[in-house]
Amino acid sequence: MGEANMSENPRYSIVAPIYNEEGNIQKLYDRITLVMDSTGEEWELVTVNDGSRDRSFEMLSELAAKDSRIKVVNFARNFGHQLAVTAGIDHASGDAVVVIDADLQDPPELILEMIERWKAGYEVVYAIRQERKGESWFKLFTAKLFYRMIYRITDVDIPLDTGDFRLIDRNVADVLRTMREHNRFIRGMTSWAGFKQTGVSYVREAREWGETKYPLRKMVRFAMDAVTGFSYFPLQIMVYVSFILGLLAVIAIPVIGILRVILGYEFLGGQVTTILLLLIVSAFQLFFLFIMGQYIARIYDEVRQRPLYIVASRSNLDTSPGQRASGVPQSEADQDVEG
């Protein structure tokens, strides 16, 4: 199998975000190579080193020096999984782009099935996790809850139990490249884009090596991005709470008045009830202020118009993101920052 000519667009781009994955990189490369070579078509592996603190970057650079099909986008610091995937899609030039985790929890062999569906005319082929191995019950439970909640309260139909492991057509990748929001929930963004979508199921394996990079704190943030990015529901539930509290007041005023006439003025008197009510109502108010704050902070993120990520260096890639210029303004691309 000849190596892809760099000036030509390969048929397939595999995008892998990488954060401290030194123990997985060689295996990832081996398995991707085996699977993709079996297609008999040109492919590239676009890796994004998301500020790894281990030897990941050195290992990727070594692979890139030996094999020009391996592209490396090296971030100036850790920007997070979703931005690493974004940069990978920005720099991918294939007719179909496959996003895959570097820890081999997503079996590369499934890509062949995705390609089949793509050739049958589907523009998004997502992978549905039938079973997840090697995860704590807490992660399984919260993930299940999360996907069902997102499904209920968001305005787009995000398929249940899917991650970012998916194949997207060039058309969809180009749409994603025009969506420059800062707090990203990429699986929601692909659903939002529409196109002909389908899913293939698989069993999600345990991590090959290393630990999850999604501690609870990051999971909560991720969930918030998903909700705020695709739903106004949290802003709108305030109105129901206000109705309920208002209704309670309307009922309580005459009822308490009458009861006081009957039972005497000590009924419900004293500071304790006042203090309790004050605490309950303030808790509601502060909670809703927090929710509003979440939306406002994200508005602020957009208004500042900072680049989404900063690239320190690239290997086997032109300086501009993607050989097929679209979506990202060239002038911006030249400054090595992508907004």
- Binding region for ligand UDP (CB under 6 A): 17-19, 21, 50, 78, 80-81, 84, 101-103, 105, 212-214
* Residues contacting residue 109 through CB under 8 Å, at least 6 positions apart: 31, 35
Give the shortest CB-64-to-Mg ion separation in angstroms.
23
Nearer to Mg ion, 101 or 164 (CB): 101
Residues 6+ positions from 231 with CB-CB distance below 8 Å: 153, 154, 155
Rg value, the chain, Cα: 25
Residues 62-101 that bind Mg ion (CB under 5 A): 101
Q: List all residues 6 or more positions away from 326 whose beta carbon is below 8 Å from its beta carbon.
A: 174, 177, 178
Contact in structure between 47 and 59 (CB atoms under 8 Å) = no
Nearer to ligand UDP by C-beta: 215 or 257? Answer: 215
> With binding defined as CB under 5 A, does residue 105 bind Mg ion?
yes
Alpha carbon distances (Å) from 114 to 9, 42, 108, 268: 20, 16, 10, 66
In the complex with ligand UDP, the residue whose CB is nearer, 105 or 162, is 105
Helix axes 110-119, 25-37, angle to 10 degrees: 40
Q: Which of 21, 103, 169, 225 binds Mg ion (CB under 5 A)?
A: 103
3-state secondary structure of 132: strand
Taking the complex as a whole, the smallest distance from the CB of residue 212 to Mg ion amounts, in Å, to 6
**In this structure, what are the phi and psi dihedrals at residue 83, rounded to the nearest 5 degrees?**
-75, -30
Query: Helix H segments across the chain?
Result: 25-37, 56-66, 81-91, 110-119, 137-153, 170-178, 186-193, 216-230, 233-263, 271-304, 330-334
With CB under 5 A as the rule, give the number of residues binding Mg ion: 3
**Shortest separation between residue 163's beta carbon and ligand UDP, angstroms:** 7
44, interface contact from ligand UDP, Mg ion, none, CB < 5-8 Å by kind: none
Binding partner of 21, given ligand UDP, Mg ion, none, CB within 5-8 angstroms per partner class:
ligand UDP
Q: Which is nearer to Mg ion, 129 or 182 (CB)?
A: 129
In the complex, minimum distance from the CB of residue 37 to ligand UDP, in angstroms, rounded to a whole number: 22
Comparison of 66 and 221: residue with beta carbon closer to ligand UDP: 221
226 binds, among Mg ion, ligand UDP, none (CB under 5 to 8 A by kind): none
Whichever of 45 and 123 has its CB closer to ligand UDP, that residue is 45
Nearer to Mg ion, 103 or 164 (CB): 103
Query: Could you say which of ligand UDP, Mg ion, none residue 188 binds, taking C-beta under 5 to 8 angstroms by partner kind?
Result: none
Q: What tokens does 226 get?
A: 């998903």
Return the one option of ligand UDP, Mg ion, none that residue 81 interacts with (CB less than 5 to 8 A, by type).
ligand UDP
DSSP letters spanning 189-232: HHHHH-SSEEEEEEEEPPPSSS--S--HHHHHHHHHHHHHHH--
Rounded to a whole number of angstroms, the minimum distance from the CB of residue 32 to ligand UDP is 13
253, burial (CB in 10 Å: exposed 0-12, middle 13-18, buried 19+): exposed
Residues making contact with Mg ion (CB under 5 A): 101, 103, 105
